[in-house]
Amino acid sequence: MIRKKRPVAGACALLAALTAGLAFPAGAAAGEPTGQSAPKVNLVLDVSGSMRAKDIDGQSRMAAAKQAFNEVLDATPEQVELGIRTLGANYPGDDRKEGCKDTAQLYPVGPLDRTEAKTAVATLTPTGWTPIGPALLKAADDLDGGDGSKRIVLITDGEDTCAPLDPCEVAREIAARGIGLTIDTMGLVPNTKLSRQLSCIAEATGGTYTSIEHQDELTDRVNELVDRAAEPVVTPVATQGADSCAKAPALESGLFTDREEFGQQRWYRVELPAGQELRASVSVAADRAVRPDHGVLLRAVTVHGREIVRGEATGNGRTDVLSTGLRYPKPERDDDSDQPATEVVCLVVTHSFSADSGVKTTPGLPLELTVDVVDGPDGSDDVASFGLGRGWWLLGALLVTGFVAGLLWGWLSRLRFAVWRTN
């Protein structure tokens, strides 16, 4: 479960300023942006009868979803083509066959008219069944055409009620089309059976599953996913980390994928010239059942094993992706320095996920590693460049000013009191 306020989600998170949000230089050796069409997002909302339940911050699930949608519509980037599809919104009867056809495009995928979209959302009333499978098939068709990123965001409070059309199989069918479509899922009820189904749907297309219990979590998560759709489409490059720095693959700026076994470390090497800054981030996904309470550690170390800087994050099992990042600026070399112009930095990824009993431990968990080597900070703009001396001068000036102001105020107060007594 992700609890981030909107300003943080907009800058994006964990690492947020680093994970998938880094700008890669032209001609980067890996992970170059592709696709010129506008990114498309289709929000698929469950409007079945169970959405009447009042268990989200004292309001109904439907009211929480409406409020979240209104905030998301206000924050949607201009370049994103957004649509809204419903499931279970129109048929109130008991005929299962009819109920499983109940999915409709509330607002078509295209340039966003915020007022029109909000008006459409305001009309929704919890009504019928939960045809997740049929809704996903239609939602994928809504996104047809173009080579930009495509994303379905499914929000539901219950499992599919239209078996044997298994929504997991539907998601796999959509993935097999090769149209580059990602499905992210959100469950409004902390239910084990529901979380398994929604996790399965998300995993089939490389998406994410999140359990939601509060309205602000829903708003923040949907906003984050819509923002992510607006980022350039980046194709990760497969690599294979080693068990030591000496054997590690050399990486340049880009986005890389790998797999890491339970209890294993993965090593990578990056060359960092003087005056440059290394920015790196890693995300590890739990693509199977794992125990709660786990962590991810990313370290930058020298070739001799001395740690330079680290980034770490911990989780409790409420979200399926854990991310962290780090920054390491290498100072400019002095002319008379004997330091090498280029330093080899080793990146070490470690995670503490552990598999549930009976769960396969191979292959390892998928990880994404972002590497970016950029110009270091300009010393003239660095706060530290003022130096300690100027800092002490400023502090001293403030102390003297405060002392003098205190003396003057005391003297004036005594003078005023003396005048008052005289009168």
Report the pLDDT value the prediction gives residue 421, as an integer from 0 to 100.
63
DSSP track, 86-140: EESSS--SS-HHHHTT-EEEEEEEES--HHHHHHHHHT----S---HHHHHHHHH
Domain boundary residue among 192, 208, 234?
A: 234
- 169 and 257 both lie in a single domain: no
Report the pLDDT value the prediction gives residue 383, as an integer from 0 to 100.
34
- 168 and 300 both lie in a single domain: no
| Percent of the chain surpassing pLDDT 70 | 80
Report the pLDDT value the prediction gives residue 236, as an integer from 0 to 100.
79
| Per-residue pLDDT reduced to its tens digit, 132-172 | 999 999 999 999 888 888 999 999 999 999 888 889 889 98
- 10, part of any domain: no
- 262 and 296 both lie in a single domain: yes
Average pLDDT, integer, range 267-275:
92
| Percent of the chain surpassing pLDDT 90 | 44
Does residue 14 surpass a pLDDT of 80? Answer: no
- 50 and 172 both lie in a single domain: yes
| Per-residue pLDDT reduced to its tens digit, 242-268 | 999 999 999 999 889 899 998 889 999
- 219, part of any domain: yes
Report the pLDDT value the prediction gives residue 354, as an integer from 0 to 100.
86
Here the CATH number for the domain that contains residue 263 is: 2.60.120.380
Average pLDDT, integer, range 118-128:
95
Give the CA count within 13 Å in the CB-facing half-sphere of 356: 9
How many domains are there within the chain? 2
- What average pLDDT is seen over the chain? 81
- 213 and 256 both lie in a single domain: no
- 298 and 208 both lie in a single domain: no
- 244 and 332 both lie in a single domain: yes
Domain boundary residue among 234, 249, 281?
A: 234
| 86 contacts 123 by C-beta, under 8 angstroms | no
- 273 and 371 both lie in a single domain: yes
Average pLDDT, integer, range 412-420:
68
Average pLDDT, integer, range 104-114:
96
- 218 and 333 both lie in a single domain: no
Q: Which residue has the higher pLDDT, 204 or 113?
A: 113
Q: What is the residue range of 308's domain?
A: 237-377
Does residue 385 surpass a pLDDT of 60? Answer: no
